[in-house]
Structure 1
Amino acid sequence: MTSPDAVAPFLHDPYILDLFAGPGGLDVAAHLLGVPSLGIEWDRNACETRYAAGLPTWHADVSVVRRERFDELPKELTVLAGGPPCQTYSVAGNGAGRKALAEVKGFIRELVEGVDDAVIDKQLAELNGDPRTALVLEPLRYAIKALDCPNREGRPFDVIVLEQVPGVKALWDVYKEVLEAGLPGKDGRVVRYRVAEVTTLHTEAYGVPQTRRRTILMARLAEHGVPGLPAPTHHTYKPHHPEQQTELPMDGVPPLLSPWVSMGEVLKRTAERPRGRETPFEIVSNYGSGGDPKNRGIRTDKQPAFTVTGKVSRNAVWRSKAKEIEHDPPRLTIAEAGILQTFPPDYPWSGGDQSQQVGNAVPPLFGMYVLAAALALPSAPEERLREGWPGATDEERATLRKEGCGDPAGCGPECPKPEAQPTASASADSSRPRTGASAKRSEK
């Protein structure tokens, strides 16, 4: 699946702009590859985690930055990446985006044709009443804006990498169409990209110990050639055949794919419990199946986890009848949920609503393979994600906050308004998922 030039880097100094950056999944992936990144994130809680992790961040609304502060972005940025909020397109969300797919496809084409942003925004506002549906257009708007930005002197992004739930594949297909046809540059110039086949990938096929599907768009400027999709490294989990798939070596040649990774393998050690979670155990899904909300699926420690969502701290962990484990908590901890997402065991989750932060994140291991393929870089060893994360000192944290919020002690005037932000709490309840509409934000 990878391109022939997958180990021939074409960018001298790649630098990633991560839109809708969340708590840092793609940034951790970039760190593994030795590539710097700058994240833009609206949610204050996720920014707290990012500052604690030492990740450069703007606490800002992606749309506002595009309209009012684009010239302030570093001109050296060469890679546009991100995953727009997916709740209105996710099967677990309210479905507004799925119902509006045809109209949003039209807006993608209108943007490239030069229809005024304000006109499109007005039409979007009248479409379904959910402003998140419009955010899927932001990466394209950023790509077009770069071509008319004085600070960048019209320089386009060399690489575009986007990920979303499978429900957005139809929109990524239109993205592919318009990127290959060309974006409007200055003086009639047309900037064309070459785009890999838009494909839905299984994260467990890249070593992530959970079943999660993400649809990927990978594009490079035409001069750099078409990117190749990341080749799988592990077997895909088959729910109806949950036994582990293995391959035997042949004539001394190792198997092509490794076995998928189980929960029990990775939950042996966490920051707060060095002994880890003892096996055997079973985890109960948050969601019903077969149309019955009470019919919850169950997986054992010998299987990968269900998709980690914003309700992950509600996942019940059953002790095996054969072995009582008194010291293990009956729910997944935030550190354990982060490990299932392939964050390092001691990743410094901070702020409130930590379950939602974890569930919204891109699995760093999966992100690493995607970025490596897009940038034609060699991937890093998976083991590095099981090592300690350096984090930030108090002084570094204050510096990052000043750069991201304008104030080393808190939010500044450019930050999203406090009333629009989730309330952070230092209490034990701060990591519990919210209910109602907030709890539906589950599969990004």
Structure 2
Amino acid sequence: MAAHFLGFKSIGIELDRNACETRYAAGLPTIHADVSVMRETRFDEIPKSVDVLAGGPPCQSFSVAGSGAGRRALDTVKGFIHRLVEGEDETKIDNDLHAQGVDPRTALVLEPLRWLLKAIETEGRDPYQVIVLEQVPAVLDLWEVYAKLLRGGEGRLNGVKYEAECWELKTEQFGVPQTRTRAVLVARRPGHGAIKPLEATHMPFDLHRGKRNAVQADMLPTDSATPGAKQRWLSMAEALDAASELKDSRVDVARFRTEGRTKFFVVSNYGSGGNPKNRGQRLSSEPAFTVTGKVSRNKVYKSIADYEAEKYDRFKICESGVLQTFPHNFPWSGNDQAQQVGNAVPPRLGMHVLSTALRGNTPSDDELTAATTWPTIPEITTDELRVIGCGDQSQCPKDSHKVTRSRRKSAP
């Protein structure tokens, strides 16, 4: 999506059929496949003109919200990264990954490197000019290993070197109405100048500053505000209010209105401070919690009286999407739409990262404004993209088409 709004064409490879349905409905070219299978047996289907490799391996096993298996496997995975570059037989590496009990999702953090090596070693292909990777903060150490190897160009990299930098980015500092920290790697071939750190456009959110029941929207900047960041972070109420005013918006803030003002508080589905019964709370005047695949389980209360009476609402899919900075009218389709929303990179953050990586600057105000609305996609375009992505269902992931679903409109 970020590439689309910046004017770049892209093609996606997606394992989950529901996410494919959303991408088809949105007019985004997509191949329904396992990235490993695409690399191993269908690499020739990727146009040679594709010169940017971008992605985010599954984060569940690395995430603090998960079991932490990936975090415990970090040192093991670092070793496998080096073994790949040094030229060890990949079949042996795969066998060792299985023998050591590495979560298959965790092992996918090796896949971007394998794609780069495949491009380097395939006749008639050029190395990717730019590589952009995203993950949860725990993976920053792995991205540092990636960056060091990419700068060196040794082993199977065959002298191909990159300028490479890694950062830990806070989404609210880039205009996303949500606190979410991501580890990002940007690498590009020499000749385009040094990779400059992303310049934050908004201040960081300090949950503990002042009294917890204060309306932080009225607070002044702190001394710890990022230099050059001129705007305060964006609140849930501000984001939803703005989306509700757009043409044909499905965002409904009227149910949260009190005396002409959008006002509510959210009780998280997740425990806080290690206590599963201690549910965190956020005011509408603050950014949202990290939007996860369980976002639809968060309870939204209009008042303390409603809280005491256990009278709550839920965010609609389109509203959860807005908190991720998806357009208000993005055509979420298929099943598990909340999971699709939570799995995604916030498009606005993606625009800042890709613009820095591909153009060396920040996205323009016009581009960011345009990213609040998604163009209407003709049904025939969706059908054509589905034929391209799932036309030969025998090549799709096993059993993924057992249940036949038609295109579904965005959830209300």
Q: What does the per-residue CA deviation read over 1:25-72, in whole Å, with 9 as the maximum and x for residues that have no partner?
A: xxx111111011111100000000000000011110000000001122
**Preserved contact between residue 51 and residue 392 of structure 1 (Cα < 8 Å):** no
CA contact (8 A) 1:81 1:161 kept: yes
Q: Which residue of 1 aligns with 2:370?
A: 384
Separation of aligned partners in 1, 2:404 and 2:112:
28
Match of 2:149 in 1: 178
Aligned to 1:73: 46
Partner of 2:162: 193
- Quick one: structure 1 residues 309 and 424, their matched pair in 2 at CA, closer, same or farther if it must change by over 3 Å? farther
CA distance in structure 1 between the aligned counterparts of 2:98 and 2:159, rounded to whole angstroms: 30
For residue 222 of structure 1, what is the aligned residue in structure 2? 190
* Residue equivalent to 2:133: 162
CA contact (8 A) 2:17 2:400 kept: no
Q: In the alignment, which residue of structure 2 is the partner of 1:17?
A: none
In the TM superposition, what is the alpha-carbon distance from 1:88 to its structure 2 partner? 1.1
Superposed CA deviations along residues 276-330 of structure 1, whole A, max 9, x for unmatched, are 5432100111211222111111111100000000100011000125899xxx970
Question: 2:208 is paired with a residue of what secondary structure?
Answer: coil
Equivalent residues in 2 for 1:337-376, closer than 5 Å: 337-375=320-358, 376=360
Within a 5 Å distance, the mapping from 1:133-148 to structure 2 comes to: 133-148=106-121
CA distance in 1 between partners of 2:205 and 2:406 (Å): 38
Question: What residue in structure 1 maps to residue 394 of structure 2?
Answer: 413
Distance 1:45 1:427 in 2: 10
- How many residue pairs align between the two structures? 384
Give the drift of 1:225: 3.1
The answer for the alignment partner of 2:225 in structure 1 is: none
Residue identity in the other structure for 2:394:
P
Structure 1 residue aligned with 2:381, among 380, 391, 396? 396
**Matched residue, 2:202:** 234
Instruction: Give 1:229 shift.
Output: 2.1
Q: Distance in 2 between matches of 1:70 and 1:212?
A: 34
Asked whether the 8 Å contact 2:175–2:201 carries over to 1, the reply is yes
* Unaligned segments of structure 1, at least 5 residues: 1-27, 249-254, 432-444
Once the two structures are TM-superposed, the CA of residue 267 in structure 1 deviates from its matched residue by 1.2
Q: Structure 2 residue aligned with 1:298, among 281, 289, 294?
A: 281
Give the C-alpha shift of residue 334 in structure 1: 0.5
Q: How many angstroms does 1:130 deviate by?
A: 2.1
**Partner SS for 1:232:** coil
Deviates more, 1:340-349 or 1:418-427: 418-427
Letter of the aligned partner of 1:160 in structure 2?
I
Give deviations 1:400-424, integer Å, cap 9, x for gaps: 11111125xxxx1111112598996
* Matching residue of 1:103: 76
2: CA distance between counterparts of 1:423 and 1:117? 36
1:272 matches 2:283: no
Give the 3-state SS of the residue equivalent to 1:106 in structure 2: helix
How well do the aligned residues superpose, as a CA RMSD in angstroms? 2.6
Q: Deviation digits for residues 387-412 of structure 1, max 9, x if unmatched?
A: x31142110011111111125xxxx1
Structure 1 residues 157 and 184, CA gap change in structure 2 (3 angstroms): farther
Give the Å deviation of 1:114: 0.8
- Equivalent residues of 1:352, 1:423 under 8 A apart: no
| 1:114-154 Cα shifts (integer Å, max 9, x gaps) | 1111111111111225211110000001111111223xx24
Q: What is the aligned partner in structure 1 of residue 234 from structure 2?
A: 261
Q: Percent identity?
A: 52
From the superposition, tell whether residues 424 and 100 of structure 1 become closer, same or farther in structure 2 (CA, over 3 Å): farther
Q: TM-score, normalised by structure 2?
A: 0.87
Alpha-carbon separation, structure 1, partners of 2:251 and 2:146: 45
Report the Cα distance in structure 2 between the residues aligned to 1:291 and 1:71, rounded to whole angstroms. Answer: 48
Paired AA for residue 348 in structure 2: L
Identify which range, 419-428 or 70-79, moves more after superposition: 419-428
2:62–2:68 Cα contact (<8 Å) kept = yes
Counterpart position of 1:128: 101
CA contact under 8 A between 2:15 and 2:35: conserved in structure 1? yes
Secondary structure in structure 2 of the residue aligned to 1:191: coil
CA distance in 2, matches of 1:166, 1:323: 36
1:30 to 1:229, Cα distance in 2 relative to 1, 3 A: same
Q: CA deviation at 1:246?
A: 4.0
Distance (Å, rounded) in 2 between the aligned partners of 1:159 and 1:183? 18
Deviations 1:361-401 (A, max 9, x none): 00000000000111124413232222x31142110011111
Q: Which residue in the other structure is 1:289 paired with?
A: 272
For structure 2, which runs of at least 5 residues remain unmatched after alignment? 223-227
Distance in structure 1 (CA, Å) of the matches to 2:28 and 2:189: 27
